[in-house]
A and B are shown apart, each in its own frame.
Chain A
Amino acid sequence: EAGVAQSPRYKIIEKRQSVAFWCNPISGHATLYWYQQILGQGPKLLIQFQNNGVVDDSQLPKDRFSAERLKGVDSTLKIQPAKLEDSAVYLCASSPRFSRRSDTQYFGPGTRLTVL
């Protein structure tokens, strides 16, 4: 089966510009996650969807970050406006069921964002 797809793979923008990342999870997966991975750190959860509803966005900087999951499938994460500290790899992951704590998450290759 196809894995989690993300695009673009790399993005370079100036600070205060806007940027959007796209994720297509594994077909049929109910739960979708967005993580931010800053260099030298582990991934940090930004937002979690179950189908097209948000179940956890407690660590999403809502003044500049937004995310949606269209029809419970694809998802888009947006940053507007970007700051220097947003430079990171943005990872998308999905899991098959309704987010049981024991589930395996399947990760995409990530989008590397550089803010200049």
Chain B
Amino acid sequence: AQSVTQLDSQVPVFEEAPVELRCNYSSSVSVYLFWYVQYPNQGLQLLLKYLSGSTLVKGINGFEAEFNKSQTSFHLRKPSVHISDTAEYFCAVSDRTGFQKLVFGTGTRLLVSP
């Protein structure tokens, strides 16, 4: 079974500052990793995913994440945030065999202020 830990429930940051949202996972098998974003009153939307290959993954809206197998982490970063990035961010994991079954973390609320 897999599990995901997002230690930061809330991250406040000023506009144009860099941000990192942390995600650690636990799994006894190889996994795929995902970051989804949930804007207020909307459904979740995929930001990026790591399947294989380069450990640095680029996603939409200027976000990127780095897969670190030894530290079992998949932290999300953006060099300069905008007010519009205010949302809930969820890290998720799925093992690589059989049907897809996403296991989500508890989410991190990113609050961007002017």
Asked if A43 meets B90 with Cβ closer than 8 Å, knowing A55-B99, A99-B99, the reply is: yes
B residues within 8 A CB of A107? 36, 43-45
Q: Out of B96, B102, B105, name the residue touching A105 (CB < 8 Å).
A: B102
Please state if A101 and B96 are interface contacts (CB–CB under 8 Å): yes
Decide yes or no whether B15 CB sits under 8 A from chain A.
no
Task: Assess the B43–A108 pair: CB atoms within 8 A.
Answer: yes
Residues 52-67 of chain B, each 1 if its beta carbon lies under 8 Å from chain A, else 0: 0000000000000000
- A41 in contact with B44 given A56-B99, A95-B100, A99-B100 (CB within 8 Å): no
Q: How large is the interface on A (under 10, 10 to 19, 20 to 34, 35 or more residues)?
A: 20 to 34
B105 cross-chain contacts in A, Cβ below 8 A: 42
A40 in contact (CB, < 8 A) = yes
- Asked whether, in the complex, the Cβ of A103 is within 8 Å of the Cβ of B100, the reply is yes
In the assembled complex, B114 has its CB within 8 A of some CB on chain A = no
Q: A42 contacts B92, CB within 8 Å?
A: yes
Question: CA A110 – CA B51 in complex, angstroms?
Answer: 27
Q: Could you tell me if A42 and B99 are in contact, using CB atoms closer than 8 angstroms? A: no
**Majority-rule SS of A interface residues:** loop
CA distance A38 to B94 in the complex (A): 20
Known: A42-B4, A101-B94. 13 other contacts (CB 8 A): A4-B43, A31-B100, A40-B9, A42-B105, A93-B44, A100-B100, A101-B95, A101-B99, A102-B32, A102-B100, A104-B49, A105-B100, A106-B43
Q: List 25 A-B contacts (CB under 8 A).
A: A4-B43, A42-B104, A42-B105, A42-B107, A43-B44, A45-B102, A48-B99, A50-B99, A56-B101, A91-B43, A91-B44, A99-B100, A101-B32, A101-B94, A101-B97, A101-B98, A101-B99, A101-B100, A102-B94, A102-B100, A103-B100, A104-B46, A105-B44, A109-B41, A109-B43
